[in-house]
Structure 1
Amino acid sequence: MASQTTASLTVDVEDWYHIPSVCGSTFSRFRDVDEFFEKWDGRYDYLTNSTERVLKILDQYKIPATFFVVADVIEHYPGLVESIVEHGHEIACHGLHHSCAIDSRTKKPLISSDDFRRVTAKAKGDLEKISGEKVIGYRAPNALVAGWMIDALEDLGFKYDSSVSVNSLYNKSDSELKGVSSAPYHPMYHGLEPVEYRDFVEFPWPYYDLGFKIPTGGGPMLRFLGAHIILQGIQQSLRRGHTVFYFHCIDIADEVFPNIGNKRPFYWMIKGRMVENRILRVIERLRSQDVTVKPLREMLE
């Protein structure tokens, strides 16, 4: 594979209670993170140790990554985001509290455009204050993204999003995604379909096309499908252009999380060292094929 082939390794920084079965969705146990902290009196931090392990892995391989951070991590994990910055990684935004902006079933807004702008502006400002740099990247919580959200992000000064996942199993957007593949593109106004140019870029996730498109961006699919299928999708997507791979820091946590979520009893059934080894396998494959790994910020150039 040519040395000019590029990919981005991206890391979502959120804890176990940020997932939609626990907080921030139409079916969650708690309405939002604020209610969670009002009512939860047990241990909550399963994020710090796994994030430190991720940073050590990236140091070992000398990989600069993009970390999509839920901004309330700044408050509840003092020093953690600062540590990511000190290791030289890009800080991007993963929402203020990881709350869904659209309904996972109907794709209708769960928040007004004005309120979305307000909370996202706060998240962006908090992350910029802690990182000392402009935050220009966004990933929608739970990858639930809509065209109106992109319009708001552009108005707030973001330059790119990385949430769109084209596949045959599900669609977490409010668009049909016609003409969208795994290659970066400019999304249209008020939608997510491609246009010739806009001063905003979407970095969609990879997929493996066997006539049936399997999502292979990472995350839960990495946990449940394993590294082989993920690598097949990444390899195929690299032939279409730049692609991304992602995982959560807590994907590699060895400890058992509290079992309080609704509707997703097996969500964390596979994680820990097994998933860490799968991540290492993906990294090793990219290295062996001379794929240049860059933060998404650098790909805008």
Structure 2
Amino acid sequence: MAEVRGGGESGDARPQLDEDLSEVSDFLHAVGRQIKLLREQAGLTQKQFAKEVGYTESLIGAVEQGKRTPQRELLEASERVLDARGLLIATADDIEKAKAKARVRHPEWFRNYASLEAEAVELHDWSAYLAPGLLQTEDYARALFRMRQPVLAEETVEIRVAARMARQEILARWPRAVFSWVVDEGVLHRQLGGPEVHRGQLERFLEIGNTRGMTLQIMPMDRSENASVAGSFKLITPKGRPQTGYIEMQTSGRLITDGEEVRLLNTRYGTLRAQAHSPQDSLSLIEKMLGER
């Protein structure tokens, strides 16, 4: 399989190489056809089936067409509703294997950072425009890749989403690294992907903020000062190695290893945390926004 460019936080990447995604694409189409056949044998329309499993009709349609990766929860619900006799549950494991096989190298400009992130014992992130990549829901990440210009093929979008979700495995690793994020309030109001995707992302922020060992703070828009209006950045400490900074712009990223530059980013991040809402007030703000929707 040719290299799939996973992209940085925004989903941007340099011009694509020719990609052979047929193996994963054909597999997703086959799973979709299985679900459609079982649904029709059960005498259910897409709308009826969607209601039974608790998902939208449009998502069911996309899964049946092989355009969306069915998650384990959907397959388990489908197994129950369609009485698939274990077929769809077995498919869930096969999908995970296929996604793992499809995960290939990140673009060259993002690769060095990704390797450091995978072995991080400490990671701090200031995000001014988008939800941080490690906190993005699958639907939010998919929306970012689908809105990219030039337009990406649906198969390519799915592979890139899988690559991003794979990065998030470090959040579940134990012993847990030290994580903190400061996110601009504007990110909470930017409904990328639409209201449903937006709500899911807000719920994800709330989940992370309530997780032991993870700190999420929101930078309010009414602050008269902001220590980093110049853009987003990260500070990452790999195991047994010095702390490194990382900044990203469009189709390029830069690791910052100079001690003085890293020190300045640390100072800037400390100021951002002091300017932002406290972790508890940040969660209260998100809960309030969710209650209004």
TM-score by length of 1: 0.30
More helix by share: 2
Whose RCO is larger (CA < 8 A, sep 6+)? 1
| Structure with the greater alpha carbon radius of gyration | 2
